[in-house]
Amino acid sequence: MPSITLNRKVFEMLVGKKLPDEQLQDRISMLGTDLEEVNENEIIVEIFPNRPDLLSEQGFARAFSSFIGVKPGLRPYPVTKTTDRVIIEPSVTNIRPYTACAVVKNLKFNDENIKEIIQIQEKLHITYGRNRKKCAIGVYPLEKIQFPIRYLAREPDQIKFQPLESDREMTALQILSQHKTGRDYGHLLEGLEKFPIFIDANDQILSLPPIINSHLTGKISEQTKDVFIECSGFDYNVLRKCLNIIVTALADMGGEINSLELHYPRTTCLSPNLEPEEMKISLNYVNKILGLDLDEKQLQKYLEAMGYGYQDKKALVPAYRADVLHPIDLVEDIAIAYGYENFEPEIPSVATIGQEDPFQKFLIKVRNILVGFKLQETKSYHLLSKEELNQKMNLDYPPIPLKNALGDYNHLRNWLIPSGLKVLSENQHHDYPQNIFEIGTVFKKDKETETGVKEYQRVSILLCHEKTDYTEIKQIMDAFFHTLDKEYTIEETEHSSFIPGRVGRISVQDKKLAYIGEISPEVLKNWELTMPVTALEINLTELFEFIK
């Protein structure tokens, strides 16, 4: 979890109240953060990853001020509409397709708040932006650039500018190989024929996202009054939230937020949008989850203590809150506002004797066996896109979609091998061999269950290096079943994700439990993998029925 260092003087000015050290420590801890140190000049706080809006003096002070009752409720952030444009060209569609942008004017920069902006940017890059892969941020002095700004892609040898803190011009490839920041993040552009850039009306390059800004047009100084901000990445909703976090922090520094027109190839929108999002909140639901007996007035009070608005039995969620996806997130914040110290502990009236779940013991045994085979364990999300589960795997088997999904990862995975291939495709900058396994949950439709979905635990094993073949993955399988003291049979089968003639179906006591084989070149190409991959996937839920 990231730690931020807050200037105590700036923090207390933004909060609007000074608290004694002891009370300050207590309230910061009860806000749901981990306090590391409070001294005369600084407050050092560890921020949980679900609250990127707290990664600055301004964001943390805003939340703390509401929490202690100084400035409760939803903060208004007016946006001045302009006709300035950012044009997103079709050339970035398959590279880094989205950007969210804004202008903030009438700022008064000094050394302190320049450091604050750098801290916001870097902390968001590391956490919310997943080291710039998910989201990259650029901040530019507006006086040095001219609208309209274009976001486009060019071949690397056509991109040349002076990168930040460099004394000379470089081509894009020179930046990736010779500049420190380029070496650190160059893998994010690896394999691309064209690189994305921001360029202004005077054909000045502003930046090479997600790598680095231009030294001439992308460096803020104490003379800067107005700034242009852009966030680029792959999910507009993610970028929108990130931009909102930054512009509201700058507004709390005294800036005035101005919107821009974003002209995409097929649509136009205004950015930023700081209107709060409405979410229904049931008083009965809150009381049931928390075991309380709150009335509606108390519900509103606790929501406002966490910076929300409340109107017509709906919570008004601030535009900078990236963590509120479901009413249970509101319930968590209500519990924080009520005070965990105020909940009365109760001793359950049921006596039980605890023991380790036999299936979990089995999973631990499987994990230890595979680690003993010198395989590296990975862990990935249950959600993937339909493209990753179907098209990239050369399949036409409909996975289970989510209702009201907020992003591209909107389908429950129905097997594990796509997750493993995704891990391999994202780690090609590391050394080979890359031999990995994952024990995880997959989801199948089942009308007999309450939810219509049944969950299984499976294990996938993927071997990735230049010499891997069917023989090697079968040796892993033989050793695995031998260690479990179970016999199996294998028969040749067909599966469009594997090479014909090099794929098998594994059965235990006539129950089909697994696939094994060499991944087809077409699937490898879809995942942009250049090394051969062999794979094995076993249904552990059903295998355990035979083991026990």
Helix axes 236-252, 57-67, angle to 10 degrees: 80
The verdict on 59 and 88 lying in the same domain is no
Structural tokens at position 402: 């989510």
Q: Measured between alpha carbons, how far is 93 from 152 in angstroms, rounded to an integer?
A: 9
Q: What is the CATH number of the domain that holds 387?
A: 3.30.930.10
* Confidence class for position 510, pLDDT limits 50, 70, 90: confident
Whether residue 346 lies inside any domain: the answer is no
Q: Which residue segment(s) compose the domain that 320 sits in?
A: 282-340
The verdict on 127 and 249 lying in the same domain is yes
- Boundary (domain end) residue, out of 39, 67, 95: 67
Which residues are bridge partners to 537 per DSSP?
Answer: 460, 515
pLDDT digits (tens, 9 = 90+) for 388-398: 998 899 988 88
pLDDT digits (tens, 9 = 90+) for 300-338: 999 999 999 999 999 999 999 999 999 999 999 999 999
* Element at 360 (helix H, strand E): helix 358-372
The verdict on 442 and 298 lying in the same domain is no
Helix axes 296-305, 327-338, angle to 10 degrees: 90
**What's the pLDDT score for residue 368?**
95
Mean pLDDT of the 182-196 span:
92
The verdict on 381 and 469 lying in the same domain is yes
The verdict on 326 and 367 lying in the same domain is no
Which residues are bridge partners to 38 per DSSP?
Answer: 43
The verdict on 263 and 286 lying in the same domain is no
Structural tokens at position 527: 């995942």
Q: 314-317 and 277-280: which strand pairing?
A: antiparallel
pLDDT at 371 over 90: yes
Task: Report pTM.
Answer: 0.71
Mean pLDDT of the 2-25 span:
85
pLDDT digits (tens, 9 = 90+) for 419-446: 999 999 999 999 999 999 999 999 998 8
pLDDT digits (tens, 9 = 90+) for 449-467: 878 889 999 999 999 999 9
* Contact indicator for 128, 47 with CB cutoff of 8 Å: no
Which segment of 258-262, 318-322, 352-356, 413-417 scores lowest on mean pLDDT?
352-356
The verdict on 41 and 83 lying in the same domain is no
Q: Measured between alpha carbons, how far is 103 from 465 in angstroms, rounded to an integer?
A: 48
The verdict on 123 and 63 lying in the same domain is no
Domain count of the chain? 4
Mean pLDDT of the 172-201 span:
93
Q: What is the CATH number of the domain that holds 110?
A: 3.50.40.10
Which residues are bridge partners to 311 per DSSP?
Answer: 314
Q: Measured between alpha carbons, how far is 204 from 225 in angstroms, rounded to an integer?
A: 20
